[in-house]
Amino acid sequence: MADYCISVSDLRMNYGNFVAVDGVSFNVDYGRVFGFLGPNGAGKTTTIKVLTTLLHPTSGSVSIFGKDVVKHAKEVKKRIGVVLQEPSFEGNVTVEKALDLYGMMWGVPGEKRRDRARELVDRFDLQEFKGKKNDELSIGQRRRVQVAREFMHDTDLLFLDEPTVGLDPAARRMLLDYVKKHVHGGLTVFFTTHIMEEVEYLCDEIAIINKGRMMAIDTPAGLKQRYGGIKALEIKLKGTAQSVMDIVRPVAGGSAIEIPAEDTVRISSQNAQELLVKLIEALARNSVQIESVSVNPPTFEEVFLTVVSGKD
Ligand SMILES: Nc1ncnc2c1ncn2[C@@H]1O[C@H](COP(=O)(O)OP(=O)(O)OP(=O)(O)O)[C@@H](O)[C@H]1O
Ligand SMILES: [Mg+2]
């Protein structure tokens, strides 16, 4: 077995003169969920298309299971599954038929196909509309079928390009949990999304790209530690927040101050710990009574925005 499930080295992809992917390198371990994030137009889908042999890279190298994707495209293709961002389905066949056809296309034997389809109809809650044609489905229902279909065949590596777009909260959670279950069984997943809660829920490692360039790559916790300089400091008072503003303002300096509740002051700062000590001292000097204090870590959304803005 090769060292990495995916190994990408200095990948470049141009569309004519336009550079969509500009020298990206990363490795993905087996049995992990690799989150590939970035703003619209960052180059995520383009990268996925190269990794899944749909596009030829302009330069650089990509290996999947240790096999070069250009030289061994067929072999690689056999072992991977792809759910692309754009819808791809046959409009005039029923959901049930579509699942069966897809299994057939991948050479899944009859009995196994029927078992799989039954499980997927159940798991992805397709029962109610399994007899309908794809064209007659809602957007979220279509997406569910499109993702479910990819589980008709066995894969070692699954690419999911924004699989949860259009899914309701229950369907989204079901999908994430279904993916997790397969990852525990050894599947490797390459995942893109714009929903940061999904990133924290699912991903073991995260790469953030912007304008075709790699901006950061780490575990979710690692990224938070590295880029999460700003923390929210909250002080709950026995009295009103308004009455202590004259004490808080000079200590907070230029930091943003909010009053999220009548009795609470929130300050966002790079030096939350230091500020906390100074504030408690100042409040105590003025005999202000404090109910509770908390310093909250940044959200992953804040981390993402910091990384793509290029400010460290
Ligand atoms: N076929 C194409 N021809 C020319 N330019 C393209 C083509 N496909 C994509 N691009 C450009 O390449 C860049 C990267 O596109 P890509 O689809 O990879 O972005 P993305 O990160 O997947 O964005 P999104 O979050 O919106 O899905 C964009 O600027 C896009 O306009
Ligand atoms: Mg995309």
- pLDDT attached to residue 254: 80
Domains, in order of start, for the chain: 6-218 (3.40.50.300), 229-296 (3.30.70.1650)
Q: Whose Cα sits closest to atom 26 in ligand 1?
A: 40
Is the distance from the beta carbon of residue 18 to the nearest atom of ligand 1 less than 6 Å? yes
CA dist 207 and 219 (Å) reads: 9
Prediction pTM value? 0.84
Rounded Cα gap, residues 312 and 302, in angstroms: 12
Tens digits of residue pLDDT in 38-59: 999 999 999 999 999 999 999 9
Pairing type for strands 33-37 and 59-64 reads unpaired
Mutational test site, ligand 1, from 15, 199, 213, 308, max ligand atoms within 8 Å of CB: 15
**Is 85 close to ligand 1, i.e. is its CB under 6 Å away?**
yes
pLDDT at 37: 96
With CA atoms as reference, report the closest residue to 159 among 209, 193, 121. Answer: 193
Query: How close is the Cα of 12 to the center of ligand 1, in Å?
Result: 13
**The predicted structure's pLDDT at residue 126:** 96
Give me the pLDDT at residue 305, please.
83
pLDDT at 312: 52
Ranges in the chain, pLDDT < 50: none
The total number of residues written for the chain in this structure? 312
d(CA 160, CA 146): 11
CB of residue 312 inside a 6 A radius of ligand 1: no
Res 298: pLDDT: 73
Q: What is the pLDDT of residue 270?
A: 79
